[in-house]
Amino acid sequence: GAGVSQSPRYKVAKRGQDVALRCDPISGHVSLFWYQQALGQGPEFLTYFQNEAQLDKSGLPSDRFFAERPEGSVSTLKIQRTQQEDSAVYLCASSLAAEAFFGQGTRLTVV
């Protein structure tokens, strides 16, 4: 596609609910990143894939967070048993060389 696409754009979840956030990277981009952006803050790294391999997941805040990219293209970030502190914008980025292209993000609100 023309850019990185994320869905849904907005998600409201009740505390304790599981959510799944989708990222469609730019076709052919090998690297894919997930970031979490809390209100008024800069994005914070969550995890990184090269093709289908998850090379770095050091930024995932707890074992409730899980990401996958099974075929090296689309990626899903799953959050289990959501809590209020998970409320944030989740950004996906893909890159081929030294430039990351970001999607518009998914705004997650946990109530």
Residues binding another protein (CB under 8 A): 4, 31, 33, 35, 40-45, 48, 56, 59, 91, 93, 95, 97-105
Burial of 97 (0-12, 13-18, 19+ CB in 10 A): exposed
For residue 108, the minimal CB distance to another protein (Å) is 15
Amino acid (1-letter code) at residue 72: G
For residues 19 and 103, which CB has a smaller minimum distance to another protein in the complex?
103
Q: First CA to last CA across the chain, in angstroms? A: 33
For residues 41 and 83, which CB has a smaller minimum distance to another protein in the complex?
41
For residue 48, the minimal CB distance to another protein (Å) is 6
For residues 10 and 14, which CB has a smaller minimum distance to another protein in the complex?
10
8 forms beta bridges with none
Please name the helix (run of DSSP H) or strand (run of DSSP E) that holds residue 107, with its range, or none.
Answer: strand 106-110
